[in-house]
Copies of this chain bind each other. A is one copy, B any other.
């Protein structure tokens, strides 16, 4: 999904630069896989088994097949020179530049691929926090198959509750749906499940409709806690009106076949909820194959694979990583502060004038994006304001700072650093960025376009990756969607729902899936949700 630009642009490089022979890239699409380029021929091994928003399948219900655009169709349509192999990459051998693969077919046959450049984009696995019983008893909201299984399970619960041989208590248990995790995915799922149940299923199962209960468990004090407070409040109030049972400040400690045990975090009090279906949506963790890879490259002590700002995996020289499987380990200004001062102090006077500083400004902001964020938050127009602030009431032109004053002026900027969210939006921008880099590699090696190297000589070949946040949506059911857009614009209601639809549609890979998705919505609007089990 997210690799379209990557493929397209990437392939151009190799067609236009046939000199780059034995250049091999491995690209893994969620679940394991790779694109391998070899002698002007890009090869891919992978399995597309993840949607940008898997939970949307349950919501609309969007046909899974309409959303998953097979990678071969993309390749065919874009007329790019790519080989695709459907297999799982189960081991990366960074030392010998080899990838070990296992066919996705039943026989799981194995083979090895050499690479020169490797792009790792294998996504993440569900994080169970090692809670006992989660893997065996909970549904996830990650793969297309998950969504289909959940749909079927919901209806199975209603069928079971309708059987003549069940006690009232047992019927109640079967119709207790528990969603664990109050992030956007869990909230959207709970809301959509509520709509599906209250608008459609109760009509088909009138005899059991009063026994249904939906519970949302969140370990922190509020749901949607990465969103604006207004959205959180709106969502919590809406859930309350809808009769969705919201339990915040409770964490799951154990899941058995028919019961979930929770602990109130503040009091330590443990209680159990008998349930019919449980959906686990509490965040992501690193896949075993990546953990193994991290050990090889000296990242054993980290929890997530680290790259630099150019998406190069730290500790390697020809491996890149993007998406949920990695985080960017952003360089701190303070680590380089002396080097920055030295580079900026062109006359080696031991002090920085405003003029010297202004000349280094662009490079500093380019190399350390947290500087820009800090200025923005402080509502300063440039670093010069920062200096002015530190020197008090002095005319700008006459400011001069020594290295200690410079350190002190910049001492707070690193606090602005934070990890990018694990969203498709980030991964898509990274894929596009990386494709662009590969496409202009020869050109930028000759004429580097990146910022100054403060610790070494010369410039960086490329500008670092910079994420552009386009906003985030939280569909809340009942045709209501909350949107948090750049510039703290918050929108809640029907208009956001339609905004969400149009953004979702525009994110689809091709005109074909796009129109099918829209037609699936139309179906929903016309016919309501479908409650067959197939």
Contact = CB atoms under 8 A, between A and B. Distances in A.
Contact of A64 (B205, B512, B523, B534): B534
A163 B103 contact: yes
A70 interface: yes
A519 interface: yes
B111 A159 contact: no
Contacts of A487: none
A164 B111 contact: yes
A204 interface: yes
Interface string A127-157: 0000000000000000011000000000010
A160 B106 CA distance: 10
Given A65-B530, A65-B532, A159 B70 contact: no
B164 A533 contact: no
A396 interface: no
A414 to B, nearest CB: 45
A533 B70 contact: yes
A84 B206 CA distance: 12
Interface in A25-84: 63-65, 68-70, 72-73, 76, 84
Contacts of A126: none
A163 B111 contact: yes
A428 to B, nearest CB: 20
A85 B531 CA distance: 15
Band of interface residues on A: 35 or more
Q: How many copies does the complex hold?
A: 2
Contact of A531 (B70, B84, B203, B533): B70
Contacts of A110: 165
A162 B85 contact: yes
Contacts of A527: 512, 516
Interface string A257-274: 000000000000000000
A508 B527 CA distance: 16
Interface in A200-221: 203-205
A308 interface: no
B105 A159 contact: yes
A72 B165 contact: no
Contacts of A169: none
Nearest to A67: B534
A383 interface: no
Contacts of A5: none
A104 interface: yes
Contacts of A144: 534
A366 interface: no
7 contacts: A70-B204, A70-B533, A72-B204, A84-B162, A86-B163, A106-B156, A144-B534
Top 8 closest pairs, chain A to chain B, by CB: A111-B165, A64-B534, A86-B159, A72-B204, A70-B532, A105-B160, A68-B532, A65-B534
